[in-house]
Structure 1
Amino acid sequence: MPTTALPAVPDEWDVIRVPRQLGLAAMSILGARAGAVVEDPMAGALFFFVPLGTATGWDAENTRALPGGDRVPIPPMRRTTGPGPHWRMCPGDRSWHTDPSALRAAIGDAFGPRLGDEPARDATA
């Protein structure tokens, strides 16, 4: 069985580490707009590949940006199921990247409205 590489994030992309349940919800919201995504069951996380430089200003709650130099699991291209790290969304021909704005919005939508963020109700209605 081929092993999973743990290379340093290259100077081609940054990676956003998202807890598994939140990441799965974000993937569902993103649909075809999701780029390459790795799931690591042992870490309980999904890894979204985003354009280089995204990690610098990343601020989405319950996520962690991994800039160049950090280690991420990169499974063989054909590994799409566990038990170890595997591709939830295989890299495509066009790009590995998920648009960071779309990912941030999907993560926010996955959390749902927060107490105090609900729209004000008209008391006369």
Structure 2
Amino acid sequence: MSSVRTIRNCRVEAAGGAWDAVRVPRSAGLDALAILGHRSGAVLEDPLSAALYFFIPQGTAADWDVDGTRILGEDDHVVVPPDRRTQGPGPHWRVCPSTDAWTTDAAALQAALEDAVSPRAGATR
């Protein structure tokens, strides 16, 4: 069986090969994306699950510990839209993939997510 199937112009791709994915709640993901700026690789948005998916080099999240996130690796799959789909309905790209910027450095992403979910300076509880 192939690791790629086509569903309504999207592909279901297996993680854990060329990349792993990090599933992040949309609000934290948008904040992390703003922090990363041009350092971000491809970012997928799934409006149905209110999540963003960042792609990191395979195996680089061994020490990952960011609340509310999930690493997708071997035995997991991601629904991937056509390379230039930037609007829904359905999964679409917040940052389109390119040959030189598919993945985000895992350490930079982890730091950006930690900053995104940490209490803001001066915030009251």
Normalising by structure 2, we get a TM-score of 0.83
Residue 21 of structure 2 contacts residue 53 of structure 2 at CA under 8 Å; is this kept in 1?
Answer: yes
Q: Answer yes or no: is 1:23 the counterpart of 2:29.
A: yes
Q: Answer yes or no: is 1:106 the counterpart of 2:96.
A: no
Runs of 4+ in 1 over 4 A off after TM superposition: none
Kindly name which structure, 1 or 2, has the bigger radius of gyration based on alpha carbons.
Answer: 1
Q: Which piece of structure 1 moves more, 36-45 or 49-58?
A: 49-58
Query: Shift of the alpha carbon at 1:60?
Result: 1.2
Deviations 1:41-93 (A, max 9, x none): 00110000001102433211110000122011110012111110001101123
Query: Shift of the alpha carbon at 1:10?
Result: 4.8
Give the number of the structure whose residues are more often strand, by fraction.
2
Unaligned runs of 5+ in 2: 1-7
Residue 16 of structure 2 contacts residue 72 of structure 2 at CA under 8 Å; is this kept in 1?
Answer: no
Give the alignment's Cα RMSD to 1 decimal. 1.8
Unaligned runs of 5+ in 1: 119-125
Corresponding residue of 2:100 = 94
Query: Shift of the alpha carbon at 1:14?
Result: 0.6
Residue 10 of structure 1 contacts residue 69 of structure 1 at CA under 8 Å; is this kept in 2?
Answer: yes
Query: Shift of the alpha carbon at 1:3?
Result: 2.1
